[in-house]
Amino acid sequence: MALLSIPFTQQGSKINFQESFKQLMIPLSAMMLFLFAWELSASQIKTSLGLVPGPIEVSKQFGNLITEHAEERTKADAFYERQEKRNAKKLAKNPNAKVKIRNYTGKPTFFDQILTSLVTVFTGFLIATIIAVPIGIISGLSQNFYTAINPIIQIFKPISPLAWLPIVTIIVSAVYVSNDPTFSKSFIISALTVTLCCMWPTLINTAVGVASVDKDLINVSKVLQLSSFTKVWKIVLPSAIPMIFTGLRLSIGIGWMVLIAAEMLAQNPGLGKFVWDEFQNGSSNSLGRIMVAVLAIGIIGFVLDYLMLTLQRFISWDKTAVLR
Amino acid sequence: MNSPYLHIDHVTMNFPTPTGEFCALDDVNFVINKGEYISIIGHSGCGKSTVLNIIAGLLEASQGGIVLENKQINGPGPERAVVFQNHSLMPWLSVYENVAIAVRRVFKGKKTKKEMHEWILHNLNLVHMDHALDKLPSEISGGMKQRVGIARALAMEPKVLLMDEPFGALDALTRSHMQESLMDIQEKLNNTIVMITHDVDEAVLLSDKIIMMSNGPAADIGQVLEIDLPRPRNRVRLANNPTYNHYRQEVLSFLYERQANPLSEKSEEMPEKKLTEAEEAAVTEEENSVDNVTQLAPLDNSGKAA
């Protein structure tokens, strides 16, 4: 969070160098202190996989993961090159020959897993938003509707992703049957679990935002006899935007946490599976690699939140609002 | 007598509360002629705003109703434009867009795009806000916001312009500027206006008729005062005018002698709360005082005659 505050303090035309230096140095020195404490305490703990890795060891493992990724890519490129040559030869011999094109089936690297996780979380989050925002608007506008669905929301909201997972898995396996699936089953299961867990904050915050629209503005829309659509589009939505975004930010944070847990439990591809595989692997490098993954999870979560904040800044009419 | 332009026809307003009905207005009855400027004055909580909201159609009277040009009104509509106390501009729309949203709604299909644009500019020009078309409400002062609110209401070309303490939230100097502006505009347009106020000077300066309301609960009209002062009126020249001061004196004595507000320390018109002893005493006191007032208010008959 401290890092976030840097660009905002420079909003004035005059940049106070001393102030921004301070704003940079405080979080930076705290970070150094943390790394130092980590390095010191890590070397004191001996585990079945050797010493707990400190920051230096972890950064080495990060380097290893990059190298592995690069190697895997060269292998894949080589595979596709060979395949192409083989097919070209076949076609040269006999233009009618059947050519088979296969995908490379190497092990997904750390970075492949990150990409999978990101795509999954965005899909789940998008579905949640598409469901939650309209329902939130309706329940904000209609007290009766809200009274009707409130108990359902309150019961479903606290359910852990791990409890949803078996249900979602079984239902998706039963319903999503196709010979040539566009999406893999595991992707749909993970995404739907994310949806189920992360729609509630958006729904509730949207409802509250819509319900708390200034009464005078509603009266203006009554005097003007605006149609319901114009009323929602021109008056209700703009005034509820800050609350909707608060909900969206909470949602994407929850979605990201849920996804990692779901991937670990269900062995669906993604960062969670990477962590679990390393845990089962139990080599002397595993602990370091897990720590790289954990840090990546944290940094990505932070970036996701920052993205939502930027989006809010872009969409919201109130450019003066202090967003944190 | 012709049938009146706007008739507030024996309006009674009861609010349901957990402890039974709360009677806010009891048989309020008066008429407004076309082009007349009416002020409604009274202490906080006497139901002034309730009257205005009923005329606007935002509240529905428990008994009685509102007749505008021989038609009973049914719900809110742009022919009864409202200027709200706290301007009620959409904070995300520019000055121009705030007026445009009303113009587009009211004149859809009646004016071309160009005519609408000119009409928006004309109305903003009327309130001297044509220099700040692209400003957001947060970028202009309170008085300017209220000017835009008035422009928005005027742009609807309402049959009746309703103003709920339009200058109540402004400082004294800005308020008197706004009053001057309003008098200028009124001279040009000759609108029918109903204004809620608690400012005695404002009421006397601006109005053709002042309706003084008795204290609630079960408030009704205490006295109606015709202000027969030539226009244009100038506050500085009027300051020593004996007729003007007589009118002021009349309103002041109504408010502070006959309707001395026993609830002044209490919260505003919240009908939810149970009547305390003091309030019950106020009701009885108020009934007595109404008796006094009816003898003093012969003009009240004009409303009933319709």
Asked if B138 lies within 8 A of A320 by C-beta distance, the reply is yes
Where does the pLDDT of residue A13 fall: very low under 50, low under 70, confident under 90, or very high at 90 and above? very low
Instruction: Report the percentage of chain B scoring pLDDT > 70.
Output: 84
Q: With an 8 Å Cβ cutoff, are A318 and B90 in contact? A: no
Residues of chain B found within 8 Å of residue A219, distances taken between Cβ atoms? 56, 58, 76, 82, 84, 88
How far is the CA of B121 from the CAs of B110, B113, B137, B189, B270, in angstroms? 17, 12, 17, 16, 40
| Whether B78 and A225 lie within 8 Å, measured CB to CB | yes
pLDDT of residue B283: 46
Are the CB atoms for B8 and B51 separated by under 8 Å?
Answer: yes
Q: In the structure, what pLDDT confidence band is assigned to residue A176 with cuts at 50, 70 and 90?
A: confident
Q: Per-residue confidence at B293, pLDDT binned at 50, 70, 90? A: very low
User: What ipTM was predicted for this assembly?
Assistant: 0.77
The answer to whether the Cβ–Cβ distance between A220 and B88 falls below 8 Å is: yes
Distance from CA of A198 to the nearest CA of B (A): 29
Q: Determine, for residues B88 and A225 on separate chains, whether the beta-carbon distance falls below 8 Å.
A: no
Give the pLDDT mean for A305-318: 88
Cα gap B89→A216, rounded to integer Å: 9
Contact (Cβ atoms closer than 8 angstroms) between residue B220 and residue B13 = no
Task: Give the pLDDT confidence score for residue B265 in this predicted structure.
Answer: 44
Mean pLDDT, residues B123-150 taken together: 90
Residue B166: asked if its preceding bond is cis (omega within 30°), the reply is no
Taking the C-alpha atoms of residue A155 and residue A141, their distance in angstroms, rounded to an integer, is 22
Q: Do residue A224 and residue B84 have CB atoms under 8 angstroms apart?
A: no
> Are residues A220 and B78, on separate chains, in Cβ contact within 8 Å?
no
Confidence check: pLDDT of B136 > 60: yes
pLDDT at B303: 39
SS3 assignment, position B172: helix
Note whether A318 contacts B: Cβ–Cβ < 8 A. Answer: yes
The average confidence (pLDDT) of chain A is 87
Query: What is the per-residue pLDDT across A45-88, written as a single tens digit (0 to 9) for each?
Result: 888 878 888 898 899 999 999 999 999 889 988 888 898 888 88
Identify the pLDDT of residue B119.
Answer: 93
Cross-strand bridge partners of residue B39 = B195, B210
Any residues with CB less than 8 A from the CB of A79 and at least 6 apart, and which?
Answer: A104, A106
Q: Is A226 on the interface with B (CB under 8 A)?
A: yes
Of B58, B76, B92, the CB nearest to A317: B92
Chain B, nearest residue to A320 by Cα: B138
Among the partner residues B56, B86, B90, nearest to A223 by beta-carbon distance: B56
Distance in Å, alpha carbon of A136 to nearest chain B alpha carbon:
21
How far does B109 lie from chain A, in Å, by closest CA?
15
Reported as a single tens digit per residue, the pLDDT across B13-54 is 888 888 888 888 888 888 999 999 999 998 887 888 889 999
Could you give the C-alpha distances from A183 to A112, A186, B293, in angstroms and in order?
Answer: 16, 8, 82
The pLDDT of residue B263 is 53
Give the span between the Cα atoms of B113 and B127, in whole angstroms.
Answer: 22
Which chain A residues touch B92 with a CB distance below 8 Å? Answer: 238-239, 317-318
Specify the length of chain A in residues. Answer: 324
Vertex A216 angle, CA A211 and A222, to 5°: 90
Query: Any alpha helices (H) in B127-214, and if so which ranges?
Result: 142-155, 172-189, 200-206
Percentage of chain A lying above the pLDDT 90 cut: 51
Q: Which of chain A's residues have a Cβ under 8 Å away from the Cβ of B60?
A: none
Residue in chain A nearest B155 by alpha carbon: A224
| Cβ neighbours of B56 in A, within 8 Å | 219, 223
CB pairs under 8 A between A and B: 56
**Mutation test of the interface with chain B: which of A213, A220, A316, choosing the one with the most B Cβ atoms within 10 A?**
A220
When mean pLDDT is compared across A83-92, A119-128, A313-322, B57-66, the lowest value belongs to A313-322
* pLDDT at residue number A14: 55
Closest-approach residue (CA) in chain B for A216: B88
Over the stretch B163-205, which tens digit does the pLDDT of each residue have?
A: 998 888 888 888 888 898 889 888 888 889 999 998 899 999 9
Determine the pLDDT at residue A95: 81
Torsion over CA of B157, B40, B278 and B286, rounded to 10 degrees? -130
Cβ pair A238:B86 closer than 8 A? no
Q: What letters, b where the CB count within 10 A reaches 16 and e where it falls short, cover B178-198?
A: bbebbbebbeeeebbbbbbbb
Residue A227 touches partner B, C-beta closer than 8 Å = no
Chain A (188-217) residues lying within 8 Å, Cβ to Cβ, of chain B? 214, 216-217
Decide if B279 contacts B263 (C-beta within 8 A): yes
Other Cβ atoms within 10 Å of A173 Cβ, number: 12
A-chain residues near B106 (CB < 8 A): 224
- By C-alpha distance, the chain B residue nearest A241 is B92
Q: What is the pLDDT of residues B247-287, one digit of tens each?
A: 999 899 888 888 776 554 444 444 444 444 444 444 444 44
Query: Residue A271: which pLDDT band, with cuts at 50, 70 and 90?
Result: very high
- Give the confidence band of A100 by pLDDT, cuts at 50, 70, 90: confident
For tokens 């847990």, what's the residue? A261
Angstroms from A316 CA to nearest CA on chain B: 9
Tens of pLDDT along B218-241? 888 888 888 888 888 888 888 888
Residues in chain B: 306
Give the residue from B74, B82, B99, B154 with the most A CB atoms within 10 Å of its CB, the best one to mutate: B82
B276 exposure class (CB count in 10 Å sphere: 0-12, 13-18, 19+):
exposed
pLDDT value, residue B194? 94
Compare all CA atoms of chain B with the CA of A316 and give the residue at the minimum distance. B92
Residue A166, classified by CB atoms within 10 Å of its CB into exposed (0-12), middle (13-18) or buried (19+), is exposed
Interchain proximity B84–A226, CB inside 8 Å? no
B-chain residues within 8 Å CB-CB of A235?
A: 90
Amino acid at B175: R
CA distance B207 to B195: 9
Is B60 in the A-facing interface, judged by CB distances under 8 Å?
Answer: no
Please answer yes or no on whether A220 and B84 come within 8 Å at the CB atom: yes
A322 in contact with chain B, both atoms CB, cutoff 8 A: no
Q: How far apart are CA A316 and CA A104, in angstroms?
A: 45
Of A302, A296, A319, nearest to A65 by C-alpha is: A296
pLDDT tens sequence across B53-104: 999 999 998 888 899 998 898 889 899 999 988 888 999 999 999 999 999 9
Contact A238 B56 (CB under 8 A): no
**3-state DSSP call for residue B197?**
strand
- A234 and B90 within 8 Å at the Cβ level: the answer is yes
Arithmetic mean of pLDDT, B100-121: 92
Minimal C-alpha gap between B81 and chain A (Å): 7
Are B91 and A317 within 8 A, CB to CB?
yes
Contacts of A42 (CB under 8 A, 6+ apart): A51, A52, A53, A54, A57
